[in-house]
Amino acid sequence: MQAAIELDNLRFGWTAETPLLSIERFKVDRDERLFLQGESGSGKSTLLNLVGGVLEPNAGEIRLLDMGLHSLSKTRRDAFRADHIGFIFQMFNLLPYLNVLDNVTLPCSFSRNRRDRAVLRDGSVEGAAQRLLGHLELNDPALLKRPVTELSMGQQQRVAVARALIGAPEILIADEPTSALDVSNRDRFISLLLQECEVLETTLLFVSHDPALRSHFDRVENLHHLNQTEANV
Amino acid sequence: MILLRLTARSLWHRRTTALLTLLTIGVSVMLLLGVEKVRTETRTSFANTLSGTDLIVGARSGQIQLLLYSIFRMGDATSNISWQSYQLVAKHRQVAWTVPISLGDSHKGYRVLGTNQDYFKHYKYGNRIPLSFEQGRQFDALYDVVLGADVAEKLGYKLGSKVVVAHGIGNASFSKHEDKPFTVVGILERTGTPVDQTLHLSLEALEAIHIDWKAGVRIPGTNVSAEEAAKMQLQPKQITAFLVGVKSKVATFHLQRSINNYRKEPMLAILPGVALQQLWDMVGIAEKALMLVSALVVVAGLVGMLTVILTSLNERRRELAILRSVGARAWQILLLLTLESALLTLLGVGFGILLLYLGILLAQPVLASQIGVFIPLSALTFYQWQLLGVVVVCGTLTGLIPGYRAYRYSVADGMTIRV
């Protein structure tokens, strides 16, 4: 099976004396839906910034879709992230001054690849946004022009999913996306998210501290076990 | 394009602070342009007041003083010149024409100028434009008066209206020549010069109204009626100044030197252009100081904008992180903040221009009547556009400061905020 995300002998710390992450080997296969459990302060967000190419490891290698991030310049890494990775965060991750449609189509303004893929599949970027929102049960056409601040938390998270998936990026990284939702909304949200990833054949790296979500995923890893820093060991 | 759209939407989302910033920049730009416009229009207005006159001759004083009281009706002459000296110069072989000027009286705050009919023939303003009549004609009879456009308009005078001249130039003089009223026989076309605010009558008429006066008061026991005065010898003994046109421009300097060296009476002949330049040299320092203050106000406006953007930056770190997560590069974040400053400055400049024209529209009549300078609603000059260009460039460069800080934030924060 080809790997979507691979980490080899990854070492990272804000200072050399205090390493935060030390991962010998970590791999997420293509089309896999992986649940990465990690407590608050365990280095989840740092790991996501490393995988997203925003941070550079002190040592080791990160490969995404068989491309070594270390071989890319900062600008190329930014472009690679824009083209191939979608992100969902826990809350307030939509731009309050844009309406629903503009929030969803935003990644296509920064990535030509994703724009081309959206147009190829749905005829237009707006068409792709509408299709995704429809799949996520946000069918009302009047909703498209509404400010995102008028939506419920559950609706906002579904808009965030549509934004992360527009232009069919190969990898979707979700960082605690359900922490602001109640149980019924949470289960509904995860079910829609997994369903959409299935349709688009997207690799999902789902990071959360909540063990109750483990059952929804193909595989479960624990960051505490993966991280081999002295503090952890 | 997306960055510009995001900037505009983000600014609209924070429209209260954005509007206050716009107001600050707008007012400062209006001040800068206003000072510059008043400066240039005042110069133009002064330069346009007199043309075609080669020399102005008055009692010996200062060049600027003579220019100001004889042409711009500002201040007073220290002394007069005799009619004989005037005649001597007027008959000089190099002199083509002269226009005598006698000042000292007023009517409801407007200056009264005694002259002869050559004034209407030789006095020219702007690009050698002669005076013309909107209504009526030149003075002919002794008690005829010709009004400048502003005098007629502001005081509501028409042809045939009666005008009483007051002694002295105060706005509320108690010494009035009520026994010798004048009749309005002509109203001049508007010139945009002090002529508009002047009442013109003959030198003989000035003599007539002062025939029973001495040292500013009526001679006790004398009462010469208007009719009696008309029959008397009314040739003036003194005048305030006179304008000279020479036959050949080459002779101007020779004539000027001759007048200035005239031993029997201390007189001063000046070249209007040179005196005006001397005036500009003198007021240039004040102009520069005013421009400096205006420029500092613009700097204060831009610093205000910088403060607003920097203050909001910490609250906007989440927004910047979101943009990074959807694919925005760090340099695009820098550009976003710089664009915000550029857009605010550009809109502020536009708002400033709007305020300027609104201000001119409101202040136009006041400036014209109070200082005699008409500020037209004309297009901005190339220099003024250059000033605005400098403001926009400075505003954009100012945006690099929050832009760089946002860039640092977005490099450090990445897609999640570290606080």
At A24, which CATH number?
A: 3.40.50.300
B319 vs A contacts (CB less than 8 Å):
95
A78 vs B contacts (CB less than 8 Å):
327-330
Structural domain including A128 reads 3-226
B328 vs A contacts (CB less than 8 Å):
78, 82, 110
Q: Cα(B70)–Cα(B131) distance, rounded to whole angstroms? A: 17
**Residue B61 gets which letter from DSSP?**
S
Would the pLDDT of A31 be above 80? yes
Q: Cα(A38)–Cα(A41) distance, rounded to whole angstroms? A: 8
Q: Mean pLDDT check: name the lowest of B55-69, B305-319, B362-376.
A: B362-376
Is residue B341 a contact partner of residue B309, using CB atoms and an 8 Å limit?
yes
Nearest-neighbour CA in chain B from A191: distance (Å): 23
| Element housing A20 (H / E) | strand A18-29
The residues facing B187 across adjacent strands are: B135, B147
**For B257, what's the count of Cα atoms within 13 Å in the CB-facing half-sphere?**
5
Question: For B146-202, what is each residue's pLDDT tens digit?
Answer: 999 999 999 999 999 999 988 776 655 557 777 788 999 999 998 888 899 899 999
| Element housing A132 (H / E) | helix A125-135
Please provide the size of chain B in residues.
419
**Residue B157 gets which letter from DSSP?**
-
Question: For A62-96, what is each residue's pLDDT tens digit?
Answer: 999 999 988 888 888 888 989 999 988 876 588 99
Q: Mapping DSSP to helix (H, G, I), strand (E, B) and coil, where does residue B340 land? A: helix
Chain A contact for B322, CB < 8 A? Answer: yes
Radius of gyration of chain A (CA): 17
Q: Give the pLDDT mean for B93-106.
A: 92
Which pLDDT value is given to residue B215? Answer: 66
Which pLDDT value is given to residue A43? Answer: 84
B331 vs A contacts (CB less than 8 Å):
75
At residue B268, φ and ψ (nearest 5 deg) are -130, 125
Interchain proximity B2–A109, CB inside 8 Å: yes
Closest-CA residue of chain B to A175: B416
Q: Cα(B51)–Cα(A19) distance, rounded to whole angstroms? A: 85
Considering only CB atoms, A97 lies closest to which of B10, B324, B416, namely B10
A107 vs B contacts (CB less than 8 Å):
326-327
Considering only CB atoms, B329 lies closest to which of A78, A89, A95, namely A78
Question: For B2-32, what is each residue's pLDDT tens digit?
Answer: 899 999 998 999 899 899 989 999 999 998 8
Provide the pairing of β-strand A219-222 with B144-147: unpaired
Is residue B333 a contact partner of residue B410, using CB atoms and an 8 Å limit?
yes
Nearest-neighbour CA in chain B from A178: distance (Å): 16
Q: Mean pLDDT check: name the lowest of A175-179, B117-121, B259-263, B298-302.
A: A175-179
Which pLDDT value is given to residue B419? Answer: 44
Residues of B numbered 379-418 whose beta carbons fall under 8 angstroms of chain A's beta carbons: which are they? 411, 414-416
Q: Cα(A193)–Cα(A172) distance, rounded to whole angstroms? A: 10
Would the pLDDT of A14 be above 90? no
Angle at A176 between CA A173 and CA A178, to 5 degrees: 115
Q: Give the pLDDT mean for B137-149.
A: 93
* DSSP structure string for B28-59: HHHHHHHHHHHHHHHHHHHHHH-BS--EEEEE
Interchain proximity A89–B325, CB inside 8 Å: yes
Interchain proximity B329–A163, CB inside 8 Å: no
**B36 closest CA partner among B342, B392, B364, B388:** B388
Residue A233 lies in a domain: no
**A35 closest CA partner among A225, A202, A208, A185:** A208
The dihedral through the CA atoms of A56, A62, A63, A67 has a sign that is: positive
Q: Cα(A42)–Cα(B158) distance, rounded to whole angstroms? A: 93
Closest-CA residue of chain A to B327: A82
Question: For B347-369, what is each residue's pLDDT tens digit?
Answer: 999 999 999 999 999 988 777 76
Residue A231 lies in a domain: no
Q: How many CB atoms lie within 10 A of CB B62?
A: 13
Q: Cα(B64)–Cα(B83) distance, rounded to whole angstroms? A: 23
Model confidence at B258, in pLDDT bands (50, 70, 90)? very high
Q: What ipTM does this complex have?
A: 0.84
Nearest-neighbour CA in chain A from B331: distance (Å): 9
Which pLDDT value is given to residue A129? Answer: 93
A57 vs B contacts (CB less than 8 Å):
none
Is residue B113 a contact partner of residue B151, using CB atoms and an 8 Å limit?
no
- How many domains in chain A? 1
Closest-CA residue of chain A to B321: A93
Which of A12, A49, A165 should we substitute to test contact with B (largest number of B Cβ atoms within 10 Å)? Answer: A49
Interchain proximity A97–B327, CB inside 8 Å: no
Would the pLDDT of B221 be above 80? no
Would the pLDDT of B418 be above 60? no
Q: Cα(A179)–Cα(B117) distance, rounded to whole angstroms? A: 96
Interchain proximity A89–B415, CB inside 8 Å: yes
Q: Give the pLDDT mean for B407-419.
A: 67
Interchain proximity A110–B330, CB inside 8 Å: no
Residue A72 lies in a domain: yes
Which pLDDT value is given to residue B371? Answer: 67
B6 vs A contacts (CB less than 8 Å):
95, 98
Q: Give the pLDDT mean for B102-107.
A: 89
Closest-CA residue of chain B to A94: B322
A54 vs B contacts (CB less than 8 Å):
324, 411, 414-415
Tokens, residue A121: 């599949």
Would the pLDDT of B212 be above 80? no
Chain A contact for B326, CB < 8 A? Answer: yes
Q: Give the pLDDT mean for A112-140.
A: 90
Q: How many CB atoms lie within 10 A of CB B220?
A: 8
Model confidence at A225, in pLDDT bands (50, 70, 90)? confident
B12 vs A contacts (CB less than 8 Å):
97
